[in-house]
A and B are shown apart, each in its own frame.
Chain A
Amino acid sequence: MRATHEAHLPPAQGTDAAVQPPPQTPVPMNGAPAHPQHSLHTSSAQQHEHPAKAAAFVANDARLHWHDQAVWFIRAKRDRVSSAFPEWEQLRALGSQIKAHTLSRLADYLEHFEKKAVSLGAQVHWALSAEEHNRVVHSILASRGVRRVVKSKSMLTEECHLNPYLESHGIEVVDTDLGERIVQLRREPPSHIVMPAIHLKKEEIGQLFHQQLGAPAGLSDPKALTELARQHLREKFLGAQAGITGVNFAISETGGFVVCTNEGNADLSTALPPLHIACMGIEKIIPRAKDLAIFLRVLARSATGQPITSYTSHFHGPRPGGELHIVIVDNGRSRILQRDEYRRSLHCIRCGACMNTCPVYRRSGGHSYGVTVPGPIGSVLAPHLNPAAHASLPFASTLCGSCSDVCPVKIDLHHQLLVWRGELGRAHLVPIEKRVGSAIGGWILARTWAYRFFGKLMRSLLRRLPRALVYHRWNAWGRQRELPDAPRYSFREIYRRRRGK
């Protein structure tokens, strides 16, 4: 399996949170384009979304550990290659500073990018929302009579639900990244932004290819499966009338942009059809070409533990005789930009390192988050789109902080998760049992006498009550764990006696 995944590990491009609506299994919290008024509607079922899905994932112990090991393997590779890199921490700091600077004058850099890109012969479109993005892309395709499109990996187009939109208008869209193609054939969303099919074993992919691509039954050799997919995709590339790609970095200074893949599928998607549409979030901009050197060095190392992606393709205007359209999308990003406490989440270069290191992600799987970008960064971004629907995500973390320390652009992810918790609390989007427990606990703990009294009472009850009254079905702690023994005297009681008071 691992070999299969390594064969298709293109670092993420494209952007933000939100789920590609899984056509057969609707996910209730799919981060539909920003509708702040959704925050008024919530149910406890939504609030418990992640814990329930995570529990289902954990129930299969063998698969849980297989997934944990497969993802940890990538984290370990990242550790090895970054260790061989003496200036690693300097690069993280520089990358973070460049992003912070860029965000501080984002409009200027974007407008300069537009000017330069147009002077190179590209056409630039602006889209405020996911719907507008989809309309723009469709109108470009429709006006040229395009019926068949190939797409290289783009999280932004997933976020905007572009595929179903185009399909509903009679246009065939084929994802050409191997992992993306696999999940597209399964009609499910990716479970990881860099390794979309990391949740699948090679045998399951063999089964899928047997059913849909005519592979012999029982085939599970990663090389053979990859070759089969290559043949299948080659037909799609040759028949395509347009190619859609994401953007990893757009360079304000030059008007050019960069797409990183490991399979060269972005290159085939753009070199064969005459029409190239590149979709990017507003935060993909960097000021200068030389800044690329910082980001390219940390991107692949953080994402997959590779020194660099196999293909780092630079686009400067359309190819001779072709057309290039760049669609620049906001879809809620400018709202994040306005918030001091969350702004740094727009530094994200979609490397996925926070997922690989996250002990919760590794043990709950990407689908447990119910959003296109899962893991710590997804849990920070998704509530911006719909706080009520994604209220469980900032709590799907122990706040261990490993994500913040692996992040190549130093996003303070676990602190943002805590800030989100406070914001959800103020909006009454925290589950009722937490709110009640917190109010009672807070009242008691704010009064020393009450704390002493109830502490003593609790210990006394724990010592005296029959086990069945302590370890009942509502005691989640006690399902798999013993409570600590309740001692007769608290520390403060012993201390007081010692002091002879």
Chain B
Amino acid sequence: MSDVALFVPCYVDQFYPQVGLATLDLLDRFGIHADFPEAQTCCGQPMANSGCFSDAAPLARKFLDVFSGYRYVVCPSGSCTSMVRHHYANLLPGEPRLAAIGGKVYELCEFLHDVAGIKPRGRFPHRVGLHQSCHGLRELRLASGSERRIAAFDKVRDLLEGLEGIQLVDLARPDECCGFGGTFAVSEEAISCAMGKDRIADHERAGAEIIAGADMSCLMHLSGLLRREHKHLRVMHVAELLAEATA
């Protein structure tokens, strides 16, 4: 058994298996052989996000049962990682395993950047817009963000910038939310889609061919809008991008 476990968010498992595979392959390529514990399902965020904490709590407990034995848990989603790290305390007050799990679970880019210390080398000759998911950005602090007045940093950009040929385009609003927001995407459908369209327009104006992000949920929303309008702009998870570039 490896001491690294892979946590694949439920909707990625069901709808985007290629993102899970890219994550696995990418880790393999850097010599990290992760287990995929098959009892895993969902972090519980959709229920917690809806205010139904009592429906989410059993999932948080299940997550702890499945993953507590590992040294590291790597997840290709900033949002699910943040759920485990920051919000399980709301669901399971007083749970003794919580203190440890927060320090074990890492978003993929964060793990590659901070723990494995990897600088990917490869080639990706495309114009890419980097869409930081809000939870990756402001909950996990994968980048400094536009609001705070601190020394600028961006861990996801660091991973991509080393690729030969990649052009990271400048967005007018670099970290504006895409409007997905979990159940918000459905319960506030009008605003959600208005936000998504604005986010797409910003990428189009910047001349991006690809919107890349570390959260497939944002990209699922944006891709849904793009495909409905038959646009050429496409989305790509950072794991897929890095796996393709470093192949």
Q: Footprint of B on A, CB under 8 Å?
A: 50-51, 54-55, 58-59, 64-65, 68, 72, 79, 82-83, 85-86, 88-89, 357, 359-360, 363-364, 394-402, 404-406, 414, 418-426, 430-431, 434-435, 437-439, 441-443, 445-448, 451, 455, 458-459, 476-477, 479-487, 489-496
Closest to A89 in B: B149
CB-CB contacts of B116-160 with A at 8 A, as 1s and 0s?
A: 000000000000000000110111000001111110000000000
**Contact mask B31-57 → A, CB, 8 Å, 1/0?**
000001011111010111111111110
The residue in chain A whose Cβ has the minimal distance to the Cβ of B221 is A481
Cβ contacts under 8 Å, B39 to chain A: 448
A451 to B59, CA, bound (A): 12
Give A483 Cβ to nearest chain B Cβ, in Å.
7
Partner of A51, one of B51, B54, B187: B187
B223 CB–A CB distance under 8 Å: yes
Q: Are B187 and A431 in contact, CB atoms less than 8 angstroms apart?
A: yes
Q: Is the CB of A401 within 8 A of B193?
A: no
User: How would residues 59 to 102 of chain B score, 1 for a CB under 8 Å from any chain A CB and 0 otherwise?
Assistant: 10010000000000000000000000001001000000000000
* Chain A to chain B contacts (Cβ below 8 Å), 27 pairs: A64-B194, A65-B198, A88-B149, A360-B191, A398-B179, A402-B138, A402-B177, A414-B138, A421-B49, A425-B52, A426-B53, A434-B50, A438-B52, A441-B46, A445-B59, A446-B58, A455-B13, A458-B14, A476-B189, A480-B189, A480-B225, A482-B227, A491-B12, A491-B14, A492-B13, A495-B24, A495-B36
| Chain B interfacial positions (CB closer than 8 Å to A) | 8, 10, 12-17, 19-21, 24, 36, 38-42, 44, 46-56, 58-59, 62, 87, 90, 134-135, 137-139, 145-150, 173, 175-177, 179-196, 198, 220-221, 223-225, 227-228
Chain B residues whose C-beta falls within 8 Å of the C-beta of A88 in the assembled complex: 149
Chain A residues with Cβ below 8 Å from B149 are 82-83, 85-86, 88-89
Q: How near does chain B come to A370, taking the closest CB pair, in angstroms? A: 15
- The CA of A359 and the CA of B12, in the complex, are separated in Å by 26
Point out the residues of chain B lying under 8 angstroms from A445, CB to CB: 10, 41-42, 44, 59
In the complex, which residues of chain A have a beta carbon less than 8 angstroms from the beta carbon of B87? Answer: 418
Contact A405 B41 (CB under 8 A): no
A313 nearest CB across to chain B (Å): 29
Q: How far is the CB of A198 from chain B (nearest CB, A)?
A: 18
Q: What's the minimum C-beta distance from A390 to chain B, rounded to whole angstroms?
A: 13
- Inside 8 A of B184's CB, which chain A residues have their CB? 395, 397-399
Q: A400-B134, A405-B148, A451-B10 are in contact. Are A430 and B52 (CB under 8 A)?
A: yes
Q: Which residue of B lies closest to A399 (CB)?
A: B181
CA gap between A399 and B38 in the complex, in Å? 30
Question: In whole angstroms, how far apart are the Cα atoms of A353 and B21 in the complex?
Answer: 42
Contact between A494 and B17, CB atoms less than 8 A apart: yes
B50, B54, B184: which has the most chain A beta carbons within 10 Å?
B50
- By a CB distance below 8 angstroms, the chain A residues around B196 are 481
Residue in B42, B56, B194 whose Cβ sees the most chain A Cβ within 10 Å: B194
> Could you tell me if A359 and B13 are in contact, using CB atoms closer than 8 angstroms?
no
In Å, the complex CA distance between A400 and B131 comes to: 13
Given contacts A442-B59, A446-B41, A459-B14, contact A55 B190 (CB under 8 A): yes
Report if A438-B55 is in contact (Cβ < 8 Å); known contacts: A421-B49, A446-B41, A487-B17.
yes
How far does the alpha carbon of A400 sit from the alpha carbon of B218 in the complex, in Å? 12
Task: Collect the chain B residues with CB atoms within 8 Å of residue A489's CB.
Answer: 17
Q: Is the CB of B188 within 8 A of A50?
A: yes
Q: A51-B188, A363-B191, A495-B24 are in contact. Are A405 and B147 (CB under 8 A)?
A: yes
Residue from B179, B181, B220, B225 whose CB has the most chain A CB atoms within 10 Å:
B181
Given A434-B187, A438-B55, A442-B58, are A357 and B147 neighbors across the interface (CB < 8 Å)?
Answer: yes
Cross-interface CB contact of A442 among B47, B51, B225, cutoff 8 Å: B47
List of A residues within 8 angstroms of B188 by Cβ: 50-51, 54, 360, 395-396
* Known A58-B190, A88-B149: A402·B38 in contact at CB below 8 Å: no
A405/B145 contact (C-beta < 8 A), A58-B194, A418-B87, A496-B38 known: yes
With a cutoff of 8 Å between Cβ atoms, the chain A residues found around residue B53 in the complex are 422, 425-426
Q: A421-B50, A434-B187 are in contact. List 9 more A-B contacts (CB 8 A).
A: A399-B182, A401-B139, A404-B138, A422-B51, A458-B14, A477-B186, A481-B227, A487-B15, A495-B20
Q: In angstroms, how far is the closest chain B Cβ from the Cβ of A86?
A: 8
Contacts of B36 in A (CB 8 A): 492, 495
Closest Cβ of chain B: how far from A122's Cβ, in Å?
38
Q: Do A491 and B186 have beta carbons less than 8 Å apart? A: no
Residues of chain A with a CB closer than 8 A to B12's CB: 491
From residue A208, how far is it (CB to closest CB) to chain B in Å? 28
Contact flag A51-B190 (CB < 8 Å), given A398-B177, A398-B180, A492-B36: yes
Q: A359-B177, A400-B177, A426-B53 are in contact. Are A405 and B15 (CB under 8 A)?
A: no
Give the shortest distance, in Å, between B192 (CB) and chain A (any CB).
8
- A397 to B187: give the CA distance in the assembly, Å: 11
Which A residues are CB-close (under 8 A) to B176?
359
Residue in A406, A481, A485, A492 whose Cβ sees the most chain B Cβ within 10 Å: A481
Q: Which residues of B contact A82 (CB under 8 A)?
A: 149
Report whether B148 and A434 are in contact in the complex, using a CB–CB cutoff of 8 Å. Answer: no
Q: CA of A420 to CA of B14 in the docked complex: distance in angstroms?
A: 31
- Rounded to whole angstroms, the CA-CA distance of A423 and B12 in the bound complex is 29
B21: chain A residues within 8 A (beta carbon): 491, 494-495
Alpha-carbon distance between A89 and B53 when the two chains are bound, in angstroms = 33
Interchain nearest-CB distance for A488 vs B (Å): 9
> Which of chain A's residues have a CB closer than 8 A to the CB of B181?
397-400
Determine whether the beta carbon of B187 is less than 8 Å from that of A395.
yes
Q: 5 closest Cβ contacts across the A-B interface?
A: A398-B181, A481-B224, A442-B55, A425-B51, A421-B51
Interface centre among A88, A360, A493 (most CB of B within 10 A): A360
Q: Verify A430–B51 contact, CB threshold 8 A.
A: yes
Shortest distance from the beta carbon of B103 to any chain A beta carbon, whole Å: 20
Cα distance A285–B182 when bound, in Å? 38
A contact residues around B190 at 8 Å (CB): 51, 54-55, 58-59
Closest to A396 in B: B188
Shortest Cβ distance from A90 into B: residue? B149
Given contacts A72-B173, A481-B228, contact A58 B191 (CB under 8 A): yes
Are A484 and B223 in contact, with the CB atoms below 8 A? yes
From A357, A364, A414, A493, B191 is in contact (CB under 8 Å) with A364
- Contact B20 A482, beta carbon cutoff 8 Å: no
Interface-centre pick from A88, A424, A494 (highest chain B CB count, 10 A): A494
